[in-house]
Amino acid sequence: MTSIRRRTLSLVLLVFAASMLVIGTTSYRDATHEVEELFDARLAQNARLIQGLMQAPWQRSSEPACSRAWITPWHGPTTPT
């Protein structure tokens, strides 16, 4: 025959474990849902960006692409004069 203390402890641990399982499962599902919403928002943002780029007029230029860059290409060391 088991004591009342042992049965009470077993019952408390069982209730604690069951509640932790429910809380963990709920938290996991909520977190997964939030992450999916973040990915969906990022995907929609990228789609709007691509749509804007596709609708922008294309300009042809006779200048090489490197001359339009913010940083000029490096042409080797220069000798001081």
64 close to 57: Cβ distance less than 8 angstroms: no
Q: How far apart are CA 12 and CA 23, in angstroms?
A: 16
Q: What is the pLDDT along the chain (81 residues), one digit of tens a residue?
A: 579 999 999 999 999 999 999 999 999 999 999 999 999 999 999 999 999 888 877 777 666 655 555 666 667 777 665
Query: What six digits make up the tokens of 42?
Result: 């990022």
Q: What letters, b where the CB count within 10 A reaches 16 and e where it falls short, cover 45-69?
A: eeeeeeeeeeeeeeeeeeeeeeeee
Given this model, what pLDDT does residue 29 score? 98
Does the reported pTM lie above 0.75? no
Q: How far apart are CA 29 and CA 22, in angstroms?
A: 11
